């Protein structure tokens, strides 16, 4: 769980590099050029000393020698002009907007989670959240993007989803990489590729050339982006920051799995009971017991595929199946379950 003590000093220094390795215009390997920005970022999983390194094309013949490529993943971590992570912002929005927390409750909750802040700042964060949700392709933004296209030969699009609390909505944000502009932001429950495509439609409607697509590893984001721009090269963000954010969830999941396994241990006794029984009911019971055994071996692939959740779902499927057969007149195990 997140620590309750206030944190001031960063836990880790992270260097982010351009996700693009080659120049999108001439294919030359990009070279590290300068530090685009550097700051301490307050996130729900701690404070990080974040460095975003800009890269440039070293080819003197390149049509766009003045273009710098930053890390989209680093830009997606923190809002411009603040030191708070987007995960903090998303949490503030969710608690205030959906759960109607007062500013003082918000302040208390953030501090409880180790995010050092003031009530006044909670208010500011909430205002930023509301501004973020209003992001759209306005006439003004269209003019700015036109300028980006003229200067860099096209737009660099990135998209990512931030889920401050497991099981709740995910805040999806679409950005343009050269300008750092936010083109769209929306809370979505499912975040299917179709829904995400809708979020990208206004960007597609601009008709500007897109020279790169970037995102974290989420499958539906990739489907949505590659679906709209199948010809544009697609890059994953390299530093799997998500893994750090997901740590508390993985920890809880491990406990869930251990608990369920303990509850399922009783099957050894049942196995002994039905072992020598040749009846149809006993055969059925043996099948169920085998299914339970295989559930105990599940280990998933955290953090995206959580083993505890998986064991839970499968144990539940077996239980429902047992209930159904109990109704039909059922087996000895059904009565025991």
Q: Which residues bind Zn ion (CB under 5 A)?
A: 23, 25-26, 28, 57, 59, 62
CB of 158 to Zn ion, least distance (A): 20
CB of 68 to Zn ion, least distance (A): 12
CB of 151 to Zn ion, least distance (A): 14
CB of 54 to Zn ion, least distance (A): 14
Nearest CB to Zn ion, comparing residues 30 and 306: 30
Nearest CB to Zn ion, comparing residues 59 and 168: 59
CB of 24 to Zn ion, least distance (A): 8
Nearest CB to Zn ion, comparing residues 23 and 125: 23
CB of 28 to Zn ion, least distance (A): 5
Nearest CB to Zn ion, comparing residues 64 and 97: 64
Nearest CB to Zn ion, comparing residues 56 and 89: 56
Nearest CB to Zn ion, comparing residues 23 and 306: 23
CA dist 127 and 123 (Å) reads 6
Nearest CB to Zn ion, comparing residues 25 and 33: 25
CB of 13 to Zn ion, least distance (A): 30
Q: What angle do CA 171, 257, 320 make, to 5 degrees?
A: 90
Torsions phi, psi for 143 (to 5 deg)? -65, -45
């Amino acid at each position: 769980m997140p620590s309750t003590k206030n944190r001031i000093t960063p836990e880790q220094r992270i260097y982010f590099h351009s996700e693009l390795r080659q120049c999108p215009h001439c294919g030359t390997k990009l070279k590290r050029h300068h530090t685009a920005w550097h700051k301490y970022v307050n996130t729900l999983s701690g404070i990080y000393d974040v460095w975003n390194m800009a890269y440039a094309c070293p080819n003197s013949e390149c049509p766009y020698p003045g273009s710098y490529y930053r890390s989209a993943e680093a830009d997606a971590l923190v809002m411009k002009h603040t030191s708070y992570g987007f995960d903090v912002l998303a949490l503030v929005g969710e608690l205030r907007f959906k759960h109607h927390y007062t500013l003082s409750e918000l302040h208390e909750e953030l501090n409880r989670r180790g995010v050092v802040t003031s009530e006044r700042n909670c208010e500011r964060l909430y205002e930023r959240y509301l501004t973020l949700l209003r992001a759209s392709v306005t006439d003004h933004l269209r003019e700015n993007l036109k300028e980006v296209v003229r200067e860099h030969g096209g737009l660099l699009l990135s998209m990512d989803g931030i889920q401050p609390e497991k099981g709740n909505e995910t805040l999806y944000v679409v950005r343009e990489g050269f300008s750092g502009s936010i083109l769209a932001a929306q809370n979505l429950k499912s975040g299917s590729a179709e829904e995400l495509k809708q979020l990208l439609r206004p960007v597609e409607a601009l008709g500007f050339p897109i020279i790169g697509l970037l995102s974290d590893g989420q499958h539906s984001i990739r489907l949505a982006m590659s679906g709209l721009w199948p010809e544009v090269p697609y890059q994953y963000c390299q530093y799997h920051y998500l893994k750090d954010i997901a740590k508390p969830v993985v920890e809880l999941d491990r406990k869930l799995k251990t608990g369920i396994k303990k509850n399922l241990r009783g099957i050894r006794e049942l196995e002994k009971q039905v072992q020598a029984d040749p009846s149809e009911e006993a055969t059925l019971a043996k099948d169920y017991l085998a299914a339970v055994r295989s559930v105990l071996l599940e280990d998933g692939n955290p953090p995206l595929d959580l083993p505890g959740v998986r064991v839970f779902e499968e144990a539940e499927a077996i239980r429902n199946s047992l209930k159904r057969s109990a109704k039909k007149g059922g087996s000895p195990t059904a009565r025991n379950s």
